[in-house]
A and B are shown apart, each in its own frame.
Chain A
Amino acid sequence: ELKVEQNPLFLSMQEGKNYTIYCNYSTTSDRLYWYRQDPGKSLESLFVLLSNGAVKQEGRLMASLDTKARLSTLHITAAVHDLSATYFCAAPRRTSGSRLTFGEGTQLTVNP
């Protein structure tokens, strides 16, 4: 059974600082997805990582995938308040690639 674990689950940081969110998954997968959720809202797709070594960047967020280590990271550079949200990673199941298993989410708060 695929398990997806994120850490930390809660992250409070100051504006201007850098930090990394980690996503570990338990079974082999060649893809990994990152989503953002604002409080009370739906999920928005951030990144789709499709191969080992994939790196995607959008603004102050950069995601990477290491399939051998079964690890994805979401790096935040020079955080700003607008990045405050909950971030989820998700991996597809081997038995059905369209079914995603989500991590618990990392609740990020960026303080002025």
Chain B
Amino acid sequence: DGGITQSPKYLFRKEGQNVTLSCEQNLNHDAMYWYRQDPGQGLRLIYYSQIVNDFQKGDIAEGYSVSREKKESFPLTVTSAQKNPTAFYLCASSWQGHSPLHFGNGTRLTVT
């Protein structure tokens, strides 16, 4: 079955540590996205990539980094520079054009 796999589902880290969230898709989608969701709020775009080896900053890119070395994979690193990293992180992918986003099941990151 095609889909988007995010891992891990839950992640706990100490402040000051970098952490990488995995996102893999087998939908053959060109575009991939990372969103952040805080309790009771909508989604905010962190980074997106429309083709391999290229990505752009979204609205809240500070303290995050990404790579897109393969079409299937778009990992997100939350660095120690991110001031408030505790959140629910959602990865999505889509065809180019008008197609809707397909979301992974999310990673809930807690930093203490």
Contact = CB atoms under 8 A, between A and B. Distances in A.
Interface residues of A, number: 23
B42 A104 contact: yes
Interface of B: 31, 35, 40-45, 48, 50, 56, 58, 90, 92, 94, 96-106
B103 A43 contact: yes
A93 B40 CA distance: 23
B37 to A, nearest CB: 9
Interface in A30-70: 31, 33, 35, 41-45, 48, 50
A99 interface: yes
21 contacts: A31-B98, A33-B101, A41-B105, A42-B103, A42-B104, A43-B92, A44-B103, A48-B100, A88-B42, A96-B56, A97-B97, A98-B31, A98-B48, A98-B50, A98-B94, A98-B97, A100-B45, A102-B35, A102-B43, A102-B44, A104-B40
Q: Which 3 A-B pairs have the closest CB atoms?
A: A45-B100, A102-B42, A42-B103
Contacts of B40: 104-105, 107
Most chain A beta-carbon neighbours within 10 Å: one of B40, B41, B98: B98
Contact of A99 (B41, B58, B100, B104): B58
Given A88-B43, A98-B31, A42 B105 contact: yes
Contact of B42 (A33, A50, A105): A105
A107 B41 CA distance: 10
Contacts of A48: 98-100
B10 to A, nearest CB: 11
B100 to A, nearest CB: 4
Given A42-B106, A43-B101, 16 more contacts: A41-B105, A41-B106, A44-B103, A48-B98, A48-B100, A50-B98, A97-B97, A97-B98, A98-B31, A98-B48, A98-B50, A98-B97, A100-B101, A104-B41, A105-B40, A105-B42
